[in-house]
Protein backbone atom coordinates (compact mmCIF):
# COMPACT_ATOMS: atom_id res chain seq x y z
CA UNK A 1 0.00 0.00 0.00
CA UNK A 2 2.91 2.25 0.69
CA UNK A 3 6.08 2.92 -1.08
CA UNK A 4 9.40 0.58 -0.20
CA UNK A 5 5.28 15.86 -7.24
CA UNK A 6 5.40 47.45 -12.09
CA UNK A 7 5.68 50.70 -12.32
CA UNK A 8 4.35 52.73 -15.23
CA UNK A 9 7.33 54.18 -17.11
CA UNK A 10 7.47 54.40 -20.89
CA UNK A 11 4.68 52.40 -22.61
CA UNK A 12 6.91 51.16 -25.47
CA UNK A 13 9.60 50.05 -23.04
CA UNK A 14 7.07 48.15 -20.97
CA UNK A 15 5.66 46.36 -24.00
CA UNK A 16 9.13 45.42 -25.19
CA UNK A 17 10.16 44.07 -21.78
CA UNK A 18 6.90 42.20 -21.41
CA UNK A 19 7.37 40.44 -24.73
CA UNK A 20 10.93 39.45 -23.84
CA UNK A 21 9.80 38.18 -20.45
CA UNK A 22 7.10 36.07 -22.07
CA UNK A 23 9.59 34.53 -24.49
CA UNK A 24 11.99 33.78 -21.64
CA UNK A 25 9.21 32.22 -19.56
CA UNK A 26 8.25 29.94 -22.44
CA UNK A 27 11.84 28.74 -22.77
CA UNK A 28 12.06 27.67 -19.12
CA UNK A 29 10.10 24.47 -18.48
CA UNK A 30 8.08 23.98 -15.33
CA UNK A 31 9.92 21.46 -13.15
CA UNK A 32 8.84 19.67 -10.01
CA UNK A 33 11.52 20.39 -7.39
CA UNK A 34 9.90 19.22 -4.15
CA UNK A 35 7.24 16.70 -3.16
CA UNK A 36 6.00 16.49 0.44
CA UNK A 37 3.94 13.40 1.31
CA UNK A 38 2.07 13.36 4.62
CA UNK A 39 0.52 9.99 5.44
CA UNK A 40 -2.89 9.72 7.11
CA UNK A 41 -4.65 6.86 8.84
CA UNK A 42 -2.64 4.69 11.23
CA UNK A 43 0.53 6.60 10.36
CA UNK A 44 1.31 10.30 10.11
CA UNK A 45 4.81 10.04 8.68
CA UNK A 46 6.07 12.81 6.42
CA UNK A 47 8.37 12.16 3.47
CA UNK A 48 9.98 15.00 1.51
CA UNK A 49 11.64 14.37 -1.84
CA UNK A 50 13.81 16.88 -3.71
CA UNK A 51 14.24 16.64 -7.49
CA UNK A 52 17.47 18.04 -8.94
CA UNK A 53 18.13 18.85 -12.60
CA UNK A 54 21.08 19.82 -14.77
CA UNK A 55 21.33 22.94 -16.94
CA UNK A 56 19.46 21.15 -19.76
CA UNK A 57 16.54 20.30 -17.46
CA UNK A 58 17.33 16.60 -17.19
CA UNK A 59 16.64 15.01 -13.81
CA UNK A 60 19.98 14.13 -12.18
CA UNK A 61 18.99 12.76 -8.78
CA UNK A 62 16.36 12.58 -6.07
CA UNK A 63 17.04 13.01 -2.36
CA UNK A 64 14.75 13.02 0.65
CA UNK A 65 14.53 13.21 4.41
CA UNK A 66 14.94 9.45 4.79
CA UNK A 67 18.53 9.63 3.41
CA UNK A 68 17.22 7.91 0.29
CA UNK A 69 19.26 8.75 -2.79
CA UNK A 70 18.32 7.99 -6.36
CA UNK A 71 20.57 8.78 -9.32
CA UNK A 72 19.34 9.10 -12.91
CA UNK A 73 21.16 7.51 -15.85
CA UNK A 74 20.51 8.21 -19.55
CA UNK A 75 21.42 6.51 -22.84
CA UNK A 76 22.79 8.13 -26.03
CA UNK A 77 19.24 9.08 -27.08
CA UNK A 78 18.64 10.89 -23.77
CA UNK A 79 16.24 8.19 -22.59
CA UNK A 80 16.11 7.70 -18.84
CA UNK A 81 17.34 4.10 -18.50
CA UNK A 82 17.88 3.77 -14.74
CA UNK A 83 16.91 5.30 -11.43
CA UNK A 84 19.47 3.87 -9.04
CA UNK A 85 18.80 3.76 -5.27
CA UNK A 86 22.44 3.34 -4.38
CA UNK A 87 21.93 3.15 -0.60
CA UNK A 88 19.66 0.12 -0.92
CA UNK A 89 21.03 -1.71 -3.99
CA UNK A 90 17.72 -1.17 -5.75
CA UNK A 91 17.12 0.22 -9.24
CA UNK A 92 14.31 0.82 -11.69
CA UNK A 93 15.47 0.05 -15.23
CA UNK A 94 13.74 1.24 -18.40
CA UNK A 95 13.99 -0.08 -21.96
CA UNK A 96 12.81 1.70 -25.11
CA UNK A 97 11.98 1.10 -28.74
CA UNK A 98 11.66 4.13 -31.03
CA UNK A 99 11.77 6.33 -27.91
CA UNK A 100 8.74 4.56 -26.39
CA UNK A 101 8.94 2.69 -23.10
CA UNK A 102 8.62 -1.05 -23.73
CA UNK A 103 9.86 -2.51 -20.43
CA UNK A 104 10.25 -1.44 -16.81
CA UNK A 105 12.11 -3.72 -14.40
CA UNK A 106 12.62 -3.42 -10.64
CA UNK A 107 15.96 -4.87 -9.57
CA UNK A 108 16.79 -5.60 -5.93
CA UNK A 109 20.13 -7.04 -4.81
CA UNK A 110 21.04 -7.65 -8.48
CA UNK A 111 17.92 -9.75 -9.17
CA UNK A 112 14.82 -8.74 -11.14
CA UNK A 113 11.83 -8.95 -8.81
CA UNK A 114 9.16 -7.39 -11.04
CA UNK A 115 8.89 -6.40 -14.69
CA UNK A 116 6.24 -4.80 -16.90
CA UNK A 117 6.31 -4.98 -20.70
CA UNK A 118 4.27 -2.46 -22.71
CA UNK A 119 2.60 -2.88 -26.12
CA UNK A 120 1.24 -0.03 -28.26
CA UNK A 121 -0.98 0.24 -31.32
CA UNK A 122 -0.09 2.04 -34.56
CA UNK A 123 -1.10 5.37 -32.97
CA UNK A 124 1.35 4.86 -30.06
CA UNK A 125 -1.54 4.23 -27.68
CA UNK A 126 -0.84 1.77 -24.87
CA UNK A 127 -3.02 -1.31 -25.40
CA UNK A 128 -1.56 -3.95 -23.09
CA UNK A 129 0.82 -4.68 -20.22
CA UNK A 130 2.56 -7.92 -19.34
CA UNK A 131 3.37 -7.89 -15.64
CA UNK A 132 5.67 -10.54 -14.17
CA UNK A 133 6.59 -11.13 -10.54
CA UNK A 134 9.86 -12.97 -10.03
CA UNK A 135 9.73 -13.35 -6.26
CA UNK A 136 8.96 -17.07 -6.47
CA UNK A 137 9.79 -19.97 -8.78
CA UNK A 138 8.14 -20.28 -11.17
CA UNK A 139 7.40 -16.59 -11.70
CA UNK A 140 3.82 -15.41 -12.16
CA UNK A 141 2.67 -13.37 -15.15
CA UNK A 142 -0.53 -11.40 -15.75
CA UNK A 143 -1.53 -9.65 -18.97
CA UNK A 144 -3.72 -6.56 -18.83
CA UNK A 145 -5.55 -5.05 -21.81
CA UNK A 146 -6.65 -1.41 -22.07
CA UNK A 147 -9.85 0.17 -23.36
CA UNK A 148 -10.35 3.94 -23.58
CA UNK A 149 -13.38 6.20 -23.29
CA UNK A 150 -12.05 9.75 -23.34
CA UNK A 151 -10.04 10.19 -20.15
CA UNK A 152 -11.45 7.01 -18.60
CA UNK A 153 -9.43 3.81 -18.93
CA UNK A 154 -10.55 0.24 -18.32
CA UNK A 155 -7.62 -2.01 -17.42
CA UNK A 156 -8.68 -5.64 -17.72
CA UNK A 157 -7.11 -8.93 -16.68
CA UNK A 158 -6.85 -10.82 -19.98
CA UNK A 159 -7.61 -14.22 -18.41
CA UNK A 160 -10.17 -13.15 -15.80
CA UNK A 161 -12.86 -10.85 -17.15
CA UNK A 162 -14.21 -10.23 -13.66
CA UNK A 163 -10.94 -8.64 -12.58
CA UNK A 164 -10.49 -5.09 -13.87
CA UNK A 165 -9.97 -1.46 -12.88
CA UNK A 166 -11.78 1.68 -14.02
CA UNK A 167 -9.35 4.61 -13.90
CA UNK A 168 -10.38 8.22 -14.47
CA UNK A 169 -7.89 10.95 -15.41
CA UNK A 170 -8.28 14.73 -15.22
CA UNK A 171 -6.83 15.65 -18.63
CA UNK A 172 -4.61 18.28 -16.97
CA UNK A 173 -0.83 18.57 -16.59
CA UNK A 174 1.18 15.78 -14.99
CA UNK A 175 3.91 17.05 -12.57
CA UNK A 176 6.78 15.78 -14.77
CA UNK A 177 5.21 16.87 -18.08
CA UNK A 178 7.89 19.45 -18.94
CA UNK A 179 10.97 17.74 -17.51
CA UNK A 180 13.21 16.46 -20.30
CA UNK A 181 12.24 12.89 -21.25
CA UNK A 182 11.02 11.76 -17.83
CA UNK A 183 7.55 11.66 -19.35
CA UNK A 184 8.67 8.71 -21.49
CA UNK A 185 8.44 6.42 -18.46
CA UNK A 186 4.74 7.29 -18.02
CA UNK A 187 2.85 5.75 -20.98
CA UNK A 188 -0.47 7.44 -20.08
CA UNK A 189 0.94 10.87 -19.22
CA UNK A 190 -1.17 12.56 -21.92
CA UNK A 191 -4.30 11.73 -19.91
CA UNK A 192 -3.03 13.77 -16.96
CA UNK A 193 -3.44 12.80 -13.31
CA UNK A 194 -5.56 10.01 -11.83
CA UNK A 195 -8.62 11.34 -10.02
CA UNK A 196 -10.36 8.03 -9.32
CA UNK A 197 -9.53 4.35 -9.52
CA UNK A 198 -11.98 1.54 -8.77
CA UNK A 199 -10.71 -2.03 -8.74
CA UNK A 200 -13.04 -5.02 -9.17
CA UNK A 201 -12.44 -8.67 -8.32
CA UNK A 202 -14.84 -11.29 -9.61
CA UNK A 203 -17.04 -8.43 -10.74
CA UNK A 204 -17.31 -6.96 -7.22
CA UNK A 205 -15.82 -3.65 -6.08
CA UNK A 206 -12.69 -4.48 -4.12
CA UNK A 207 -10.82 -1.18 -3.76
CA UNK A 208 -11.39 2.54 -4.37
CA UNK A 209 -8.85 5.32 -4.60
CA UNK A 210 -9.84 8.96 -4.99
CA UNK A 211 -7.51 11.90 -5.55
CA UNK A 212 -8.84 15.36 -4.76
CA UNK A 213 -6.59 17.76 -6.66
CA UNK A 214 -5.85 21.48 -6.31
CA UNK A 215 -4.22 23.11 -9.36
CA UNK A 216 -2.16 26.22 -10.04
CA UNK A 217 -2.83 28.70 -12.86
CA UNK A 218 -1.01 26.42 -15.33
CA UNK A 219 -3.21 23.41 -14.46
CA UNK A 220 -0.39 21.59 -12.66
CA UNK A 221 -1.33 19.90 -9.37
CA UNK A 222 -0.17 21.68 -6.22
CA UNK A 223 -1.99 19.50 -3.68
CA UNK A 224 -3.38 15.99 -4.05
CA UNK A 225 -5.36 14.49 -1.17
CA UNK A 226 -5.38 10.71 -1.56
CA UNK A 227 -8.02 8.51 0.03
CA UNK A 228 -7.99 4.72 -0.37
CA UNK A 229 -10.65 2.29 0.84
CA UNK A 230 -10.61 -1.50 0.61
CA UNK A 231 -13.55 -3.91 0.49
CA UNK A 232 -13.67 -4.19 4.30
CA UNK A 233 -14.06 -0.42 4.67
CA UNK A 234 -10.56 0.15 6.00
CA UNK A 235 -9.21 3.48 4.73
CA UNK A 236 -5.86 5.20 4.55
CA UNK A 237 -4.23 7.86 2.42
CA UNK A 238 -1.89 10.81 2.24
CA UNK A 239 -1.62 14.46 1.28
CA UNK A 240 0.91 15.35 -1.42
CA UNK A 241 2.20 18.92 -1.72
CA UNK A 242 3.97 19.80 -5.00
CA UNK A 243 6.46 22.67 -5.40
CA UNK A 244 7.76 23.80 -8.81
CA UNK A 245 10.57 26.03 -9.98
CA UNK A 246 8.10 28.65 -11.17
Per-residue pLDDT averaged across 131-152, rounded?
A: 93
* Total structural domains within the chain: 1
State which residues form the domain around 151.
32-244
> Per residue in 18-66, pLDDT tens?
344 444 445 789 999 999 999 987 777 899 999 999 999 999 999 987 6
**Opening angle at CA 176, ends 104 and 240, nearest 5:** 100
Q: Characterize the bridge pairing of strands 32-40 and 194-201.
A: unpaired
Region of poorest pLDDT, from 14-18, 91-95, 120-124, 190-194: 14-18
Per-residue pLDDT averaged across 1-23, rounded?
A: 37
Q: Return the pLDDT at 26.
A: 52
Which is nearest to 160 in space by CA: 201, 118, 123? 201
Q: Return the pLDDT at 16.
A: 33
Inside any domain, residue 127: yes
Inside any domain, residue 16: no
CATH number at residue 81: 2.40.160.190
What confidence category does residue 67 fall into, taking pLDDT thresholds of 50, 70 and 90? low
The reported pTM is 0.84
Inside any domain, residue 106: yes
Residues 6+ apart with CB under 8 A from 147: 153, 154, 156
Per-residue pLDDT averaged across 186-208, rounded?
A: 95
Amino acid sequence: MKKKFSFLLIPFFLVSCSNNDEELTKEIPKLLIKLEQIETGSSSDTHISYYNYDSDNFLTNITNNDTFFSKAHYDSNDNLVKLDQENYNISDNYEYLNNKLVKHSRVEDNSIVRSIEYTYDSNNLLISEKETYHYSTPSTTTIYNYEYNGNTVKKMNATNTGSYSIIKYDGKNFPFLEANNIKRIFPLIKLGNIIEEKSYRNGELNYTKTNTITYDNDDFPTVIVVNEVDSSGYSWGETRNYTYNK
